[in-house]
Amino acid sequence: MTATIPNLPSLYDPFSTEAKWQKFWEDNQVYKADPNKSGEPYCIVIPPPNVTGSLHMGHAFESALIDTLVRYHRMQGRNTLWLPGTDHASIAVHSMLEKQLKTEGKTRYELGREKFLERAWEWKAESEGTILNQLRRLGVSVDWSRERFTLDEGLSKAVVEAFTRLYEEGLIYRGEYLVNWCPASGSAVSDVEVENQEVNGNLWYFRYPLTDGSGFVEVATTRPETMLGDTAVAVNPNDDRYKHLIGKTLTLPILHREIPIIGDEYVDPTFGTGCVKITPAHDPNDFDMGKRHNLPLINIMNKDGTLNANAGEFQGQDRFVARKNVVSRLEADGFLVKIEDYKHTVPYSDRGKVPIEPLLSTQWFVKIRPLADKTLEFLDQQTSPEFVPQRWTKVYRDWLVKLTDWCISRQLWWGHQIPAWYAVSETDGQITDNTPFVVAKSETEAWDKAKSQFGENVKLEQDPDVLDTWFSSGLWPFSTLGWPEQTQDLATYYPTTTLVTGFDIIFFWVARMTMMAGHFTGQMPFQTVYIHGLVLDEKGQKMSKTKGNGIDPLLLIDKYGTDALRYTLIREVAGAGQDIRLEYDRKKDESASVETARNFANKLWNAARFVIMNLDGQTPQQLGNPVATELSDRWIISRYHQVIKQTTNYIDNYGLGEAAKGLYEFIWGDFCDQYIELVKSRLQADADPVSRRVAQQTLGYILEGIMKLLHPFMPHITEEIWQTLTQQSADSPQTLPLQIYPQVDANLIGIALEEQFELLIGTIRTIRNLRAEADIKPGVKVTANLQTESEKEREILTAGQSYIKDLAKVETLSITDKQENQIAAKKPQSGLKTIGLVILAIFLGRLGLAVGNAIDDTPIVGTFFEIVGFSYTAWFVSQNLLTAQARLKLWRRFFLQRELEQSQEPENAIAGVIGTIQVLIPLSGVVDIEAVRAKLEKSLSKAEAEVQSLSTRLNNPSFVDRARADVVQGARDALAEAQKQAEILRVRLKALP
């Protein structure tokens, strides 16, 4: 795949590179799992995207997270399987086909079930590749040989097996119950297919007269048409306003039906008037209340959303048309009291895009409590599965506690047809609510059962409905591995290791899988559930089709490359389960954050290119592992093993974002900006051969390790660099995904060493910053004085002074005691010092004697001076000659005063601080200080003028109130930027001498 002579192009092309390696990995079945392979199993089954779908940012985010985990564990030596597949998406496909038929002027009933399903399979064959090929572009390391589809033969067999077992165990039944009904699709829908939307509606108040003529009660409702199905009015039994009415009856307006007033503590006395109309057949809460009080259930709705014969004169009208007409009739009859504006939540069908209708219907149900209770036992007794973040455990548990029976039948044709056959010969050839049926695994078995029950002349018809998609999805973790057969895959990879999914389907998919798995396999289907957050748009809002604020991941891939997008999505994760915000400019279709990741890829590419060019055509294996002696080599190796430890710890604990950020800092900062720069001089042809080879060994060793560490996050660029670096042969190619992940060697980590080197790096950074502030040209070398009171810091700086000079462009470097400055470096040797001081003492003594002799002849005065001279000499010796410290002090006082004066900080210098180290750079002769000052002052004046202009604009109420919100926000952002720039300029001006 690569040339035998190491060579990377000057520019990195992500598009050709990514396509090449995606093809190579798939063609060579690099990710094909083998249950016979050694190693601890690690298995993830893909959350199956809808076969109708196309890649959206949620898919890209989730796939990037999963692939990072899978690649990491594969490189850790685990027997890894990531199993791909798609879901048949009953409602979505069904709705799409019916829209096609509508444009042709046909209905599915005219076409017939068989022809309809033929169309569905044809469409699936054409469109299924869309989402799968898009996933391929993400470079996902799935085993494509095990790809599954929820309607394939194996999974269909599992669905029939599960249904028949549950039915035979009394856990599936057919009965009349209130379901979520979508009039647009003509089917019951599950809770997950219902989206609650806040709408601006109305609250209508009506009078219902007491039957005895003694008055009336007022009720309030948001759905006036449902009053036609009212079978009671309820009040709270503790409400003093109405408890005397409990037991009386009312006459329902329009239909004149007599209905009771009942007392139920569910009623909220503060809502509306405190009197609530009860429509058991059209409201889930009313349904429960109706069961408690044995109320009749009157359905007024047809399945297409029109009203039926129970609605009287409104029969045949659409529900929303009937709403207006019912209100008009009640107003005409004098029963309308008032209408109020009312904001409330309305459940919409996610697929049909219309308000759902709670509808009384005969459907198939799963008795959920036995399944949920068993799942709760796993959770409470074994903490299985374990949720990451842990806070989602309570949400999951609360959901299991509150679950009610699950409606699993859908009035559609695309899906798993319910394996029940009705003996229509017993009910005049029609399927009715009372038609007897048999449940069987096949039509042949159904005929055998039916004949034994109803005789040889029985006529059978299979239930036309299909199962809820979530029924087959609930079996996904084990049906994809071969269940109900005891396959080798099932024995090896089940239970799966990790489920990665969004929090929004904990209730609908995660709970379904755990309940099904607990019942059929006696185990939870996965050890860990890693709940990730959402990808929010540039304004921090949830992406949705309704808002039209989605960001196309393929557009960003085409612009920046797959690795850049993957890395961005993972790096943005601040903690497990947190939402991430993706920067995006909709006018330019650009993302600053993804561009940053692309720049990171380019930085890595250029660094790798430099390293490979300087290895003299040798691979890291040929060079051998380095035995580091120099400070910089020991430092980078220590940092490398520290990063191995940090990265593995983060990934093992699902801190993927933290791991990605740590690698970025190490690769860009430590390796590229520091170490490579430090060793450049050692790579020259005339450099010391031993030092040069150690530098080459270290570069090759660290670069190959970086490729392995980064591979799970950015698989394509790392594969390309690794192949070139290690010079893999096309005849027997190795591949990076199958290499062993770096292992930490604690013996090579030196915390003290890293702290010391950080001091050097910080010093270099400070000098560079001072150079930038003083506008010193890059090619100009400077003089630098480093002052610190710490002897340890001086030792570190002295040991690394060559690095400081090289990286900070320093020609003359002095490292001194902050208090004593350069004096300590120039103090004489103790022997010479002592001799000099003794000579000084003798000289002063002889001088004293001479003076004494001169005045000795003077009476009294001579004696006086002898006493004074002797005393002074004794004092001088005691103060200045007896100790080393006193002798050094005297030496400085008399002989080093000039040096002290010269060592003072020059006037024209710029200073900075790193920790306790003061950094001083003289500017005289290096820059024109006044020119720099003038330049900074000019820039400051411009920035201050911008601040003034924007402040005036934003303080103008007319602008703030009338301008578009994005324009106002843009002005605020510009003001903040101008203020920040002005502050920086002031700091730089203040720093000038």
What DSSP assignment string belongs to 462-492?
Answer: E---EE-HHHHHTTHHHHTTTTTS--HHHHH
For tokens 């309940």, what's the residue? 515
**What was the pLDDT predicted at 819?**
61
Task: Measure the CA–CA gap between 344 and 255, rounded to whole angstroms.
Answer: 28
What is the number of other CB atoms lying within 10 angstroms of the CB of residue 223? 19
Whether 878 has a pLDDT exceeding 80, the answer reads no
Q: Which tokens hold the place of 532?
A: 């990730």
The 3 state secondary structure assigned to 395-449 is HHHHHHHHCCCEECEECCCCCCECCEEEEHHHCCCCCCCCCCEEECCCHHHHHHH
**Whether the Cβ atoms of residue 182 and residue 351 lie closer than 8 Å to each other:** yes
How far is residue 636 CA from its own chain's centroid? Answer: 30
**What was the pLDDT predicted at 859?**
55
**What was the pLDDT predicted at 828?**
44
**Whether the Cβ atoms of residue 720 and residue 655 lie closer than 8 Å to each other:** no
**Whether the Cβ atoms of residue 559 and residue 525 lie closer than 8 Å to each other:** no
Q: Which amino acid is located at 843 in the chain?
A: F
pLDDT one-digit tens code per residue, 493-523:
999 999 999 887 777 789 999 999 999 999 9
Per-residue confidence band for 548, with pLDDT thresholds at 50, 70 and 90: confident
Q: Is 719 left (phi over 0), alpha (psi -120 to 50) or beta?
A: alpha
Pick the range with the lowest mean pLDDT from 189-198, 752-761, 964-973.
Answer: 189-198
- For residues 413, 415, 420, 426, the Cα torsion angle rounded to the nearest 10 degrees is 0
**What was the pLDDT predicted at 1?**
43
**What was the pLDDT predicted at 839?**
58
**Whether the Cβ atoms of residue 235 and residue 246 lie closer than 8 Å to each other:** yes
Pick the range with the lowest mean pLDDT from 229-238, 245-254, 883-892.
Answer: 883-892
What are the CA-CA distances from residue 563 to residues 74, 366, 559, 877 (Å)? 19, 44, 11, 78
Work out the widest C-alpha separation in the chain, in whole angstroms.
Answer: 162
Per-residue pLDDT, averaged over 962-991, amounts to: 81
What DSSP assignment string belongs to 800-825?
Answer: THHHHHHHHTEEEEEEEETTTBTHHH
For tokens 């309820």, what's the residue? 234
Task: Measure the CA–CA gap between 79 and 738, rounded to whole angstroms.
Answer: 11
For 614-743, where are the alpha helices, taking DSSP H only?
Answer: 620-623, 631-652, 656-664, 676-679, 689-710, 715-726
**What was the pLDDT predicted at 390?**
94
3-state secondary structure of 287: helix
pLDDT one-digit tens code per residue, 376-385:
999 999 999 9
Task: Measure the CA–CA gap between 380 and 868, rounded to whole angstroms.
Answer: 98
Task: Measure the CA–CA gap between 464 and 466, rounded to whole angstroms.
Answer: 7
What is the number of other CB atoms lying within 10 angstroms of the CB of residue 115? 12
**Whether the Cβ atoms of residue 368 and residue 191 lie closer than 8 Å to each other:** no
Whether pTM exceeds 0.75: yes
**What was the pLDDT predicted at 836?**
56
Cα–Cα nearest to 430, from 456, 454, 464? 464
Residues 6+ apart with CB under 8 A from 473: 48, 87, 150, 509, 512, 513
pLDDT one-digit tens code per residue, 316-369:
999 999 999 999 999 999 999 999 998 888 888 876 788 888 888 889 999 999
pLDDT one-digit tens code per residue, 356-402:
888 888 899 999 999 999 999 999 999 999 999 999 999 999 999 98
Pick the range with the lowest mean pLDDT from 118-122, 567-571, 771-775.
Answer: 771-775
**Whether the Cβ atoms of residue 209 and residue 267 lie closer than 8 Å to each other:** no
Please, which residues bridge with residue 45 across strands?
A: 83
Average pLDDT across the chain, whole number:
87
DSSP 309: G
**What was the pLDDT predicted at 372?**
96
Per-residue pLDDT, averaged over 44-66, amounts to: 90
Percent of the chain predicted with pLDDT > 90: 58
Task: Measure the CA–CA gap between 183 and 817, rounded to whole angstroms.
Answer: 85
- For residues 68, 70, 73, 78, the Cα torsion angle rounded to the nearest 10 degrees is -170
What is the number of other CB atoms lying within 10 angstroms of the CB of residue 188? 25
Degrees, nearest 5: CA angle 683-687-693: 55
pLDDT one-digit tens code per residue, 852-873:
555 555 555 455 545 555 565 6
Whether 25 has a pLDDT exceeding 90, the answer reads yes
**What was the pLDDT predicted at 504?**
78
For tokens 């890395």, what's the residue? 567
Task: Measure the CA–CA gap between 46 and 135, rounded to whole angstroms.
Answer: 11
Per-residue pLDDT, averaged over 579-588, amounts to: 90
Please, which residues bridge with residue 176 across strands?
A: 362
Residues in the chain: 993
Degrees, nearest 5: CA angle 735-739-744: 150
pLDDT one-digit tens code per residue, 653-662:
999 999 999 9
Per-residue pLDDT, averaged over 223-232, amounts to: 94
Whether 899 has a pLDDT exceeding 50, the answer reads no
Per-residue confidence band for 163, with pLDDT thresholds at 50, 70 and 90: very high
Task: Measure the CA–CA gap between 69 and 681, rounded to whole angstroms.
Answer: 40
Phi then psi for residue 491, to 5 deg, are: -70, -35
**What was the pLDDT predicted at 818?**
66
**Whether the Cβ atoms of residue 44 and residue 499 lie closer than 8 Å to each other:** yes
Whether 901 has a pLDDT exceeding 80, the answer reads no
Residues 6+ apart with CB under 8 A from 928: none
Phi then psi for residue 332, to 5 deg, are: -65, -35
Per-residue pLDDT, averaged over 535-553, amounts to: 85
Task: Measure the CA–CA gap between 286 and 544, rounded to whole angstroms.
Answer: 32
Pick the range with the lowest mean pLDDT from 75-84, 184-193, 438-447.
Answer: 184-193
Whether 897 has a pLDDT exceeding 60, the answer reads no
Between residues 887 and 686, which one has the greater pLDDT?
686
What is the number of other CB atoms lying within 10 angstroms of the CB of residue 523? 17
Percent of the chain predicted with pLDDT > 70: 89
